[in-house]
Amino acid sequence: MKNLITDWKPVLAMCGAALVAIAMIAYAFFRPAEPPEAVERRRRLHLNQIGRIAEGQVVELVEHPPVTPVGSKGLFKPSARVVPDLRSRHLVSYSYAISGVTYHTAQDITGLEGQIRFDRLVAGQPASVKYDPSNPSDSIMVADDWSGLR
């Protein structure tokens, strides 16, 4: 015990490291959940900045009726107050080819209606697609300030 008291600097460093580790774990468990719309917007902005453009085509446009979300408390993240979104959801599915590989995907374009003319959107319509060069399956057809629809 006397040796431990005389060597107080390593003990202080270990206690400090333990407190930092506990604080990081507590933050990971109790931080507020980021809304899915914010995550999707950040993904769109990133792809709009770094994305390469490829030729694609619209497969279909689907409109889903509004769904009232059921909030549940997760094991690791507390549920945030969910405000029901009473808008119908617009989903456009499209396909494009990169290096001989054809990708079929969809994008939720709800909230981006200012970029799209729904009366001119038809299946088979050619469109431009922005994709991540390091992950070609990650793509967008419409962003906040860009639209690949013609």
Report the sign of the C-alpha dihedral through residues 28, 33, 38, 39, in that order: positive
Rounded CA separation 63/87 (Å): 10
- Token match 């507390």: residue? 78
Name the residue with higher pLDDT: 124 or 2: 124
pLDDT band for 115, please (50, 70, 90 cuts): confident
Q: Which two tokens mark 135? A: 């992950």
- Tell me how far apart the 2 most distant CA atoms of the chain are, in Å: 83
- Note the pLDDT of residue 111: 86
Question: Residue 4 pLDDT > 80, yes or no?
Answer: no
Name the residue with higher pLDDT: 120 or 70: 120
pLDDT band for 57, please (50, 70, 90 cuts): very high
pTM for the full predicted model = 0.69
SS percent in the chain: helix, strand, coil, step 5: 35, 30, 35
pLDDT band for 58, please (50, 70, 90 cuts): very high
pLDDT-above-70 percentage for the chain: 83
Non-local (6+) Cβ contacts of 147 within 8 A are 115, 116, 141
